[in-house]
Structure 1
Amino acid sequence: MDYTHSYESVLVFRPCGFLKGARPGVPVSRTVMGASPRQGQGQEKRFMNNEVWKEFAAHEVTHSVAHYLTTIQELRQRKGYAILKDVAEDLQVTKGSASVQLKNLKDRGLVSEVDRHHLCLTEDGEKVALQVIYNREVATNFFHKVLGLDHVDAEINACKIEHLLSHEASQRLLGLVQLLSQDDPTVAGFLKKFSSFQITCPDHENCGVCEDACIGDS
């Protein structure tokens, strides 16, 4: 199944570094704060963080929504149909809880019901489900093949972020996985060095990664 087509019409992500009304290419510190780049760095960062959290809270594809949609999709592939009882059993929730969530998904136009209470995804619902499944596979491969996590941990971590990745981020992650899966001596050398690399922070003030606090100490 091809999961690589575009889902931007369903999954819309606003750039977190800019506020509504900001001019493209102009930092928040200048557009909103009226401060110089140096003076506004701390305030700009706080604005960016606030925008990220607002975006996260407003994101329509929650973890629960993602699991209901993908469960319906997978049940229909496995059994040829999906009904309330099977969805509840697969998700290990009560039929009452499943009924409430499914009504919400129907009201949002992501799920529909056909003959004899059989559930199916609408066109928009299927787009979301396929994007989530695609994200899950890409993230699992990244955590397992690149970062070296065991497969169970890789799947658990992928499950936590599968509904949050944008299509662009997922595509770039896939590109990295494919690049590092090549049968190439340079790639093999990089992965070998990475597997034994130890995090060190000899000079926090000049670190190119850490800013406010040492990440290595967390």
Structure 2
Amino acid sequence: MPLTSSMEDYLEAVLIVAKKQIEVRSVDIARQLNVSKPSVWRAMTVLKDGGFLTMDDHSFLLLTDLGQETAKKIYERHCFFTEQLIAAGIDPKTAEADACRIEHNISDESFSRLKETATQKQD
């Protein structure tokens, strides 16, 4: 199931919140993304139906293996582009917003090449 940019943002948010606290609830995602609880509920339903996450008996959100893999990939791209843009002199807030747009639209091949190039320049 191909994910929209919005669904990728929700997955990434679950991963980020899970790094900060053990249990992740819909309200935590709503706060992280500054969206309404009904919006989170709809997104979580789509992600659950797609096999990206589960919800336990206490309504805690848990990433499946597929969800974890996908969220990590998105988050890696986000961090990479944020760092690269800041290093290029872009204001951190602008870099963060631009990285969020780039992370969803770049191909795996292009990202790998850019990451390789950046690593080679650091060596």
Which of 129, 141, 150 aligns to 2:91? It is 150
Counterpart contact for 1:131–1:167, Cα < 8 Å: no
Measured on the aligned residues, the alpha-carbon RMSD in Å equals 1.8
Could you say which residue in structure 1 is the equivalent of 2:42? 100
Structure showing the higher helix proportion among its residues: 2
Counterpart contact for 1:139–1:173, Cα < 8 Å: no
Which of 107, 113, 119 aligns to 2:61? It is 119
Higher relative contact order by CA 8 Å / sep ≥ 6: 1 or 2? 2
Could you say which residue in structure 2 is the equivalent of 1:172? 113
User: Structure 2 length normalisation: TM-score?
Assistant: 0.87
User: Structure 1 length normalisation: TM-score?
Assistant: 0.52
Shift of 1:118: 0.7
The structure with the larger Rg is 1
Shift of 1:79: 1.0
Counterpart contact for 1:139–1:158, Cα < 8 Å: yes
Which of 8, 12, 15 aligns to 1:73? It is 15
Amino acid at match of 2:103: E
Shift of 1:164: 2.4
Could you say which residue in structure 1 is the equivalent of 2:100? 159
User: 1: CA distance between counterparts of 2:90 and 2:121?
Assistant: 15
Contiguous gaps of at least 5 residues in structure 1: 1-9, 11-59, 183-218
User: 2: CA distance between counterparts of 1:70 and 1:122?
Assistant: 13
Counterpart contact for 1:138–1:170, Cα < 8 Å: no
Give identity over the alignment, percent.
28
